[in-house]
A and B are shown apart, each in its own frame.
Chain A
Amino acid sequence: MASTDPIKVGLLCSKTGTTSLLEMSQWRGSVQAIEEINERGGINGRELIAVHYDPASNPAAFRDLAERLILKDGVRVIFGGYTSTSRKAMLPVVEKYNRLLVYSQQYEGFEYSDNIIYSGASPNQNGVQLADFMTETFGARVYMIGSRYVYPYECNRTMQELLLQHPEGAILGERYLSLEARREQFTEVVADMRKKAPDWIFSTVIGKTVPYLYEAYMEAGFDPTRMPIASLNTSETEILAMRKGAGSGHFTAAPYFQSVDTPENHAALVRHQARFGPAQPLDMNWESAYYQMHMFATAFEVAGSDEISAIMPQLLGAEFAAPQGRVRIDPVNHHMALYPRVGRANVDGQFSVLRESKFAVPPDPYMTRQTLGDWVTKLSTREY
């Protein structure tokens, strides 16, 4: 292959289906990074281009399209996947052909593959901080509502273990609705919340049904200053999809919000608004896809190839000045050191950051070193 040939990477971001809203955020993050890389002259003078397919939020399509990217398009690195189910569908494919998958979504942890970089938050980088903040502020009697698949189950189990370390900790309800659930089903769950009267609601509702929960809550006339919803995934993008004001006053823990105050974030926001319009918000999905593409390009420049054996050593341990702060790929577990933050949504659909780590918190995807309010969390929130 000539040294001027373009470099192709695969993008699997759904344009349709239950999680398309968030996967299009990932797509914008990847595309913005690719355009920035090409504007500064590409990778070692070679243009970076993306082969994008739409898996329509369907795990089987993720698997088939990953195989197609590898076999038909000759792609060596694939970026994509929102649900754990879609990641799991691609895992055997990239392992079989020994290719690299960059999964940029926060997820429930408990996985490792030689062929995957997990660049979103691990549960110790959002769940622990959320539990800490919410129990301190509102209490530890919690109602759990989630989508019916592996991420919410495991995420709730982790949250439950953290809450039950608290003397008053209690799970007052645990409900799961389909990713395709109807709006009325949330009205029914919200009625149950009124009966149980928890201190707060932990939502692992995913994708297009997220607005249904917040809107049902608003219709019920609940007060977010007394019984708020807290989540690890409700971002600016979901809030934009809600009726105005429905997200306001609720909490999310994530390493990134559009409101993060760093020079890198301000610069990226300006370019994003120029490219995708001022109404289009940034979110955690955009950010992780964005920095991950840049980190790939930097690693490729050094390795001279995206053959996994050549590029992986360059990725492991790599650092990057991301919009959220300086992030690092952990060379042992392939997850990332990130900056946990807790934000409260305001009326404009943006988050006011209430707490943030001063230092990057190393990933602990198997949650073997976590207790509520332990020194890891304390250290990460010091000076706030």
Chain B
Amino acid sequence: MNSRRDSVQRSLTGSILNRNLRVLVLHPQDDDGLTLTSHLRRVGFNVETRWPPAGVLSDNVDLVFRALLPEERAPKDEWLGPDAPTLISVVAFENPTFIDQAIKMGSDGIITTPIRASGLLATIVMALRHAKQARQSAQRIASLEQKLLDNQQLREAKAILMLMHNFSEPDAYEMLRAQAMAKRVTVDDICRSVIQAGAVLQLHARIRSADSGSID
């Protein structure tokens, strides 16, 4: 029995549900608001409700449901932004105006009134998963961009040293690494210093042209 359990992969949905999610429902206390909150509680989430939506959020909210009222043209809540929790918009009319509005607010999912219990869990799981993936992707892209920049600087710094001292590439790298060790900073910091020095000594232009293969 245990061996069978071990062989089964852990359910993605189960792992999302097991996190004891804290859900904030920004919705008027009408029929739809009640259906929504009571189903979220039925599932076992920690549910808080608030209306009107003004104000900041407490730090530990995982998921927000936000009603987009037809009278509101372009809601701009204080808490919206890149670090906002996962957001599911609740719209009364499933038309391009409201769908666009939900997208502009950064929603990870949309549900339409009248709210039904069926379909809610699937939307929550997909929204949380996509929001998490999007966040992870954004972080990964940021770190790759940094790496690309560092690489570029390393290449430039090595080229400066090779030109100044007639070093081979491995020697140039070894020198940068040794300097970093001695000064207790990163290789990237040393690279930046070398490039700055190179700029002062006006070596840049010559390296750039050497780099691109045109020899003067």
Q: How far is the CA of A149 from the CA of B113 in the complex (A)?
A: 16
Residue count of chain A within 8 Å CB distance of chain B: 17
Contact B96 A91 (CB under 8 A): no
Per-residue 0/1 for A141-181: is the Cβ within 8 Å of any B Cβ (1 yes, 0 no)? 00000001110011001000000000000000000100000
Contact B114 A95 (CB under 8 A): yes
List of A residues within 8 angstroms of B71 by Cβ: 148-149
Q: How far is the CA of A150 from the CA of B70 in the complex (A)?
A: 6
Contact A110 B95 (CB under 8 A): yes
Q: How far is the CA of A154 from the CA of B98 in the complex (A)?
A: 9
Contact B73 A111 (CB under 8 A): no
Contact A150 B93 (CB under 8 A): yes
List of A residues within 8 angstroms of B98 by Cβ: 150
Supposing A91-B114, A92-B31, A95-B114 touch, asked if A150 and B94 sit within 8 A by C-beta, the answer is: no
Of the four ranges (under 10, 10 to 19, 20 to 34, 35 or more), the interface on chain B belongs to 10 to 19
Contact B94 A110 (CB under 8 A): yes
Task: Please tell me if B207 contacts chain A, counting CB pairs below 8 Å.
Answer: no
Q: How far is the CA of A292 from the CA of B178 in the complex (A)?
A: 88
A130 to chain B, nearest CB (A): 19
Task: Please tell me if B40 contacts chain A, counting CB pairs below 8 Å.
Answer: no
Overall SS of chain A's interface: helix
List of B residues within 8 angstroms of A92 by Cβ: 31, 113-114
Task: Please tell me if A88 contacts chain B, counting CB pairs below 8 Å.
Answer: yes
Task: Please tell me if B60 contacts chain A, counting CB pairs below 8 Å.
Answer: no
List of B residues within 8 angstroms of A153 by Cβ: 70, 73, 97
Partner of A154, one of B73, B97, B114: B97
Question: Of residues 104 to 160 in B, which have CB atoms within 8 Å of A's CB atoms?
Answer: 113-114
Question: Of residues 73 to 100 in A, which have CB atoms within 8 Å of B's CB atoms?
Answer: 84-85, 88, 91-92, 95
List of B residues within 8 angstroms of A108 by Cβ: 95
Q: How far is the CA of A108 from the CA of B95 in the complex (A)?
A: 9
Q: How far is the CA of A111 from the CA of B112 in the complex (A)?
A: 11
A40 to chain B, nearest CB (A): 39
Q: How far is the CA of A34 from the CA of B129 in the complex (A)?
A: 55
Supposing A91-B114, A92-B31, A95-B114 touch, asked if A85 and B96 sit within 8 A by C-beta, the answer is: no
List of A residues within 8 angstroms of B96 by Cβ: 110, 154, 157
Contact B114 A109 (CB under 8 A): no
Q: How far is the CA of A359 from the CA of B134 in the complex (A)?
A: 50
**Nearest neighbor of B71 in chain A, beta-carbon distance:** A148
Contact B94 A88 (CB under 8 A): no
Contact A150 B114 (CB under 8 A): no
Contact B93 A110 (CB under 8 A): yes
Contact B92 A88 (CB under 8 A): yes
Question: Of residues 49 to 99 in B, which have CB atoms within 8 Å of A's CB atoms?
Answer: 70-71, 73, 92-98
List of A residues within 8 angstroms of B92 by Cβ: 88, 150
Contact B97 A111 (CB under 8 A): no
Q: How far is the CA of A247 from the CA of B182 in the complex (A)?
A: 87
B197 to chain A, nearest CB (A): 55
A67 to chain B, nearest CB (A): 11
Contact A157 B97 (CB under 8 A): yes
List of B residues within 8 angstroms of A149 by Cβ: 70-71
List of A residues within 8 angstroms of B97 by Cβ: 150, 153-154, 157
List of B residues within 8 angstroms of A91 by Cβ: 114
B90 to chain A, nearest CB (A): 13
List of A residues within 8 angstroms of B94 by Cβ: 110-111
Which of A88, A109, A150 has the largest number of chain B CB atoms within 10 A?
A150
Contact A154 B31 (CB under 8 A): no
Q: How far is the CA of A226 from the CA of B7 in the complex (A)?
A: 77
Which of B95, B97, B98, B114 has the largest number of chain A CB atoms within 10 A?
B95
Q: How far is the CA of A269 from the CA of B106 in the complex (A)?
A: 53
Q: How far is the CA of A85 from the CA of B114 in the complex (A)?
A: 13
Contact A84 B93 (CB under 8 A): yes
Question: Of residues 24 to 39 in B, which have CB atoms within 8 Å of A's CB atoms?
Answer: 31
Contact B93 A88 (CB under 8 A): yes
Q: How far is the CA of A148 from the CA of B96 in the complex (A)?
A: 17
B178 to chain A, nearest CB (A): 62
Partner of B70, one of A85, A109, A157: A85
**Nearest neighbor of A91 in chain B, beta-carbon distance:** B114
Contact B73 A176 (CB under 8 A): yes
Q: How far is the CA of A84 from the CA of B95 in the complex (A)?
A: 12
**Nearest neighbor of A84 in chain B, beta-carbon distance:** B93
**Nearest neighbor of A150 in chain B, beta-carbon distance:** B70
Which of B92, B93, B113 has the largest number of chain A CB atoms within 10 A?
B93
**Nearest neighbor of A149 in chain B, beta-carbon distance:** B70
Q: How far is the CA of A84 from the CA of B92 in the complex (A)?
A: 10
A66 to chain B, nearest CB (A): 13
Partner of B95, one of A95, A154, A176: A154
Contact B93 A111 (CB under 8 A): yes
List of B residues within 8 angstroms of A148 by Cβ: 71
Q: Pull 14 A–B residue pairs with CB atoms less than 8 Å apart, ordered by A.
A: A88-B92, A88-B113, A91-B114, A110-B93, A110-B94, A110-B95, A111-B94, A150-B70, A150-B93, A150-B95, A153-B70, A154-B97, A157-B96, A157-B97
Known pairs A108-B95, A153-B97. 16 more at Cβ < 8 A? A88-B92, A91-B114, A109-B95, A110-B93, A110-B95, A110-B96, A149-B70, A149-B71, A150-B92, A150-B97, A153-B70, A153-B73, A154-B93, A154-B95, A157-B96, A176-B73
Give the 5 A-B residue pairs with the shortest CB-CB distance, closest first: A110-B95, A92-B114, A150-B70, A153-B97, A154-B97
Residues of A within 8 A of B (CB): 84-85, 88, 91-92, 95, 108-111, 148-150, 153-154, 157, 176
Residues of B within 8 A of A (CB): 31, 70-71, 73, 92-98, 113-114
